[in-house]
Amino acid sequence: MSFTLAKTERLAAILSQSPVIPVLTFEDAASGVETAKALRDGGLKVLEVTLRTPASMEALKAIIDEVEGVTVGAGTVLEPEHVQDAVRVGAAFLISPGVSSRLLAAGSEAPVPFMPGVATASEAMQLAERGATFAKFFPAGPAGGPDYLKALVAPLPDLHFVPTGGITLKNAQDYLAVRNVAAVGGSWVAPTDAIRNGDWAAIRALAKEASALKAR
């Protein structure tokens, strides 16, 4: 149950493509495809499709199959079965809000990069012991925000984070300015109402704003 150098390098390359990773939840595949196109056209080309709805796997597959120029991963990966299903449809990476022993085993053995979530220094240390270089920091706001991540730089200098949970355009740059933050995840770039109303222009504009942010 370790993180290989090859997959770590692949994840680093993915995260370097964008300062913001949209965290997306879809009720149907068609809206997933159109949302992905709008985000791509706005400059965000790394997408996380959460496995929170009955249509999520179908939406994930549709985006992978139909939208060119994006790198698409599965989020809210909670079970080994999620790992298997997401890999089968072509997910480029896997993200979990936390980690269990079963999920860690399945995720670290998957053929694509797996980024588990942490909320404490102890959880981060456990991942670092297994060779992890990246972790999701969730829920970022309640767990301590940018100041907490700054405090982890000294004891865990080789571990980098993708904070998610409570991230907005207003505070995203505060996180991105921290040395151990690789990117941020956020749902603000694709609001539920805009997806339901088919307001792709609004999503495209939000993506353009987000893509202009700068990671340290």
Q: How far apart are the first and last CA of the chain?
A: 30
Strands 20-24 and 46-50 turn out to be: parallel
pLDDT (tens digit per residue) in 118-129: 999 999 999 999
Structural domains in the chain? 5-211 (3.20.20.70)
pLDDT at 51: 98
pLDDT at 3: 87
Residue 13 CB burial class (10 angstroms; 0-12, 13-18, ≥19) = exposed
Annotated active-site positions, please? 48, 136
What confidence tier does 216 reach under pLDDT thresholds 50, 70, 90? low
pLDDT at 77: 98
Choose among 130, 120, 191, 190: nearest CA to 161: 120
Choose among 85, 22, 97: nearest CA to 58: 85
pLDDT (tens digit per residue) in 79-106: 999 999 999 999 999 999 999 999 999 9
pLDDT at 2: 72
- Give the pTM: 0.96
